[in-house]
A = this chain, B = another copy of it.
């Protein structure tokens, strides 16, 4: 088996979505962690719901909506300026420690980012992080308005990559994303950063690593 394209999820996989926690804590004292956790949980739930209901809205809107829900749930109040401030912070998430080294080791191969993030969120993030030049290309599910884990989203990434389905190694820290990619027919490496159980969906990942260094075995 030859892997011709390495496709990486962005949020949670390359970037730590909870690196905004301190910023949240400043704006919403003593609620930073709770808001950060609910924000991410609802953001992902809203991807799923909008996909199932057939009511696509882009990532920046969903990310703002889910933050508003999280702030409301915490008992705080969210004015427009604080929501916008946090969306701006979401364009400056920290990447995980090992990411840069792993990408440097893989130079010369086709390295692709494929994310639910819309261009107006993902592009600033890739630029700010300094990772952009280490990738061959960045693909957004927003280009076809179909969120992962729908088969249509992975099919689009595959078409853009221009390789065969079985020549893809797909990396994500999100169990639902790995399940979707495996269901579609990619080889999958689950970056299980939080030491969670495997999803019980009869779609086991081909490999499980605690961080991205594991993929250097491929």
Contact = CB atoms under 8 A, between A and B. Distances in A.
A68 interface: yes
Interface string A171-211: 00000100110010000000000001111110100000000
A180 B72 contact: no
Copies of this chain, complex-wide, total 2
Contact of A53 (B42, B55, B65, B151): B151
A48 interface: yes
A52 interface: yes
Contacts of A201: 46, 49-50, 55, 65
Contacts of A54: 151
A159 to B, nearest CB: 18
B68 A180 contact: no
Interface in A44-91: 45-46, 48-55, 65-66, 68-69, 72-73
B68 A200 contact: yes
Nearest to A67: B200
A49 B149 contact: yes
Interface of A: 42, 45-46, 48-55, 65-66, 68-69, 72-73, 147, 149-151, 176, 179-180, 183, 196-201, 203
Given A66-B200, A68-B200, 11 more contacts: A45-B48, A48-B48, A50-B201, A52-B52, A52-B149, A52-B180, A55-B201, A55-B203, A65-B201, A72-B197, A73-B196
User: Would you list the 9 A-B pairs with minimal beta carbon distance, nearest first?
Assistant: A65-B200, A72-B197, A48-B48, A69-B200, A53-B183, A51-B52, A68-B200, A73-B197, A52-B150
